[in-house]
Structure 1
């Protein structure tokens, strides 16, 4: 019997640490992040504002300005190559070709002085060496692929002539024009109403199914995660605090922060009117991060050991892991 062929991850991040030098000192935005993305997989990164998810995403493509930022340590291996060792020239070849990114606000991401067609065509001529006719044909195909009607006409229009949802579709078309192995979507539906959000997610689902592109979806919306993602990475205080499949995290969260996020979201599968329970307190000061668990001051289950030591990610069975002493077999004894 033939053994299944092991697939190498498209992306593998190990011990990534990113800091910013601010007036108060060193702000440790990302503190030892580890995760991977497999071929054709959709991985959601969730957490409240300031948890480090967007900084992590921009670091993957080396888009954060230095200074004030500094990548202190870690490894980012993409398709077997170390991203952190590449020059800026090499990164420019990689961005848009093998790695694509969709930003939060398409109006500020698109160039208002250029037609949407020219912005897609530029990507194709730069990375795929197409001539003008080939690139235009491909650009029209991409606009049709993301659901923009009358693509042959609209390719000559400017961003201000499109609605917010249509501009986001254009951004997806630009990001996917060169068939990247990895698409990073940073809050792609934040500025859109719920109807347009649903349409954008359907587009991403269809593209993932058709093109087999791996996707990192960064969001604070757990409903979006449930609808499109295979695995979830929960971040808090610049760290990964829980990871696992969508089913594992939604049915049996192992970190109190994940539990708190789920309790603060309205449920549509219950006929009872259940009050939403907010997470009391504020995020940690990352200029002076705590020695122990970053969530300890806000945690209803905190123990003495939580104040002193960081447990690291502990295996919780299956593919699930959580950065919480409650999952350690010796936790009660250590707390004594």
Structure 2
């Protein structure tokens, strides 16, 4: 089949690909839209291990099921594939499997004519949910997972560092699931303005804080989410969370980074990681998308053909744009 493929030099081209098929009960899905995210930039720049080129990107997939229980219906895809038999897989935590395969990272993804997906990872979509909005399902599920890991109290406060699509969706999920009062920190003006239009308090930098013991309770938060992954951020995360609160590490750092471990110990802070999402998170995300279609639709800033991907990724790197979707329906007409 034909795919729009990332080469080792960072360029893209149409080429013939052999789509690997997982074991077990498999459903074929014809991708309609694929969402681009920061991970795709990392794949392009070869910053993440275990990713081999050439590779057809695309792990945020919505499309039409070609067979199986939901044949002919629009579906969202959970791109995570565990072994299915280890302890974490049996607990419903496939994203933590030691043999993890991610569609669009470890095998060809949605930028192909069709992709084989395990049946349990194919989630039917409501009939009245537009596919462009439904394309946010996987990334919103990641945000839902992060908020659940934080164990935010109802009506609590949250600080999200990084106002890209995942950061804004974490803020949205914190508000939708816990009624949280959310502040978003984002250096890029356009993204900061978008977060403010979304109804969040938006600031351009982390406030300067000295001794946490001298701060008022209003300046500290029940949970702090690191969706930036910037070296300058990690050492300051503990300055902004109340004693007994949570720090949730969402972004990937390219190397070992610093965290104020003494502060973690002395103030009994809960530091947790979060990776991808579970099936329950996907179902919750789809429910939220369906209930908040008009609110979430503006997050999709542009829809491009595959040939526009390289430029879209550059705009994302500069923080000029929020979520970009790739229309996959023309891939079959691509020229080899």
Please indicate the TM-score interval, normalised by the length of the shorter structure. under 0.3
Provide the TM-score with structure 2 as the length reference. 0.24
Computing the radius of gyration from Cα coordinates, the structure with the larger value is 1
